[in-house]
Amino acid sequence: MSDEFCVRRVRPSDAAAVAAVFEAALRDTGAYHPEAAGSPADETLPADYVDAGGDFLGCVAPTGAATAADVDRPDALAVDDGVLVGTGALRPPAASVSEAVAGVDALAGRRLAEVKRLHVHPAFHRRGLGSRLLDAVVDRARANGFEALVLETTAGQTAALAFYASRGFEEATRTTVTPPSVGEPIELVFCWRQL
């Protein structure tokens, strides 16, 4: 992979670009629900992650990369040092995720980190950036003393599920929820892996 892409900690000034990557990635998979809670726009970045013992990382490409990749709104991805093309984060898991993986014996007594916000803008898919971001998240998790990773995704994100499986994640459980803000059932998939 080219060294033109740099993985670094997200800065507070990157918030709009983080939201743009999130929206583009989820729209691409049909999993974007603008009325649903859980957008990075609802978070204080990167403090909500770093202050909890985790981290929030961004993959930055040189200015002009978004235009070259034919991104619809290249200005939406602009950050101080280029364009944000992907994100990946970790923090201690939400209670709902901890509960979902509680039946996995291999996780008993382990210090868990939840993988969050692992998204690559669709114009930058198939360049190894998801792997690069996940590798950086794994490195940060180990450095921060975590012993295993857990995550939550949706069953409709089949490419994400295949990616996670190829990176050593195993499915723990599935559950269906109907968020009032969405109004339709969504099947959640919880996965895990040791570090």
How many domains does the structure of the chain reveal?
1
Q: What is the pLDDT of residue 35?
A: 67
Residue 26 lies in a domain: yes
Residue 1 lies in a domain: no
Residue 120 lies in a domain: yes
Q: Domain limits at 37?
A: 6-194
Q: What is the pLDDT of residue 104?
A: 94
The model carries a pTM of 0.93
Residue 186 lies in a domain: yes
Residue 122 lies in a domain: yes
Q: What is the pLDDT of residue 179?
A: 81
**How confident is the model over 68-112, as pLDDT tens digits?**
888 888 899 999 999 999 999 999 999 999 999 999 999 999 999
* CA gap 32, 103 in Å, rounded: 29
* CA gap 48, 118 in Å, rounded: 16
Which residues of the chain have a pLDDT value below 70? 1-2, 35-37
3-class SS string, 51-85: CCCCEEEEEEECCCHHHHCCCCCHHHHEECCEEEE
* C-beta atoms surrounding 28 within 10 Å: 17
Q: What is the pLDDT of residue 46?
A: 93
Helix (H, G, I), strand (E, B) or coil at 180: coil
Residue 109, domain CATH: 3.40.630.30
Q: What is the pLDDT of residue 183?
A: 82
